[in-house]
Structure 1
Amino acid sequence: MTQTQQSREERLAAKLRENLRRRKVQARAITVTGDSAPSSESGDKNDSENESGGLPKPAPES
């Protein structure tokens, strides 16, 4: 590996570590404050989509 490739990979690794730390802090803050996660503007998104972001299941017919 050349010196520039190594330094680029070191910079990328440092950015990844920084991002991971930031996300952990955010996750802890959300956990501490409870389930007061920011909601979408419409507020109805959870009604039309499940947690995985897919389509809702149709109601069972009886």
Structure 2
Amino acid sequence: MTTEDQTKSPAAIQPKKDDKQDRLAARLRENLRKRKEQARGREKDGQPD
């Protein structure tokens, strides 16, 4: 295997995808947490929805 083959292999690209997936997952978790918090606030105000 040449150096060029190693740089194009999926293993070389995978860490970037993992980082992107981790960032996306963290943002989705944060968004869900905020939405749940907002829903709880609406329920306390007497506006269930």
After TM superposition, the score normalised by the length of structure 1 is 0.54
RMSD over aligned Cα atoms: 1.8
Q: Deviations over 1:18-47 (max 9, x none)?
A: 00000000000000001287xxxxxxxxxx
Question: Which position in structure 2 is the counterpart of 1:5?
Answer: 17
Identify unmatched segments of 5+ residues in structure 1.
38-62
Q: Which runs of 4+ in 1 moved over 6 A?
A: none
Number of aligned residue pairs: give it.
37
Identify unmatched segments of 5+ residues in structure 2.
1-10
Greater RCO (CA < 8 Å, at least 6 residues apart)? 2
Q: Aligned pair in 2 of structure 1 residues 36, 5: CA closer, same or farther (>3 Å)?
A: closer
Measured after TM superposition, the shift of residue 12 of structure 1 is 0.2
Paired with 2:40 and 2:48, the residues of 1 have a C-alpha distance of 12
Q: Report % sequence identity.
A: 43
After TM superposition, the score normalised by the length of structure 2 is 0.68
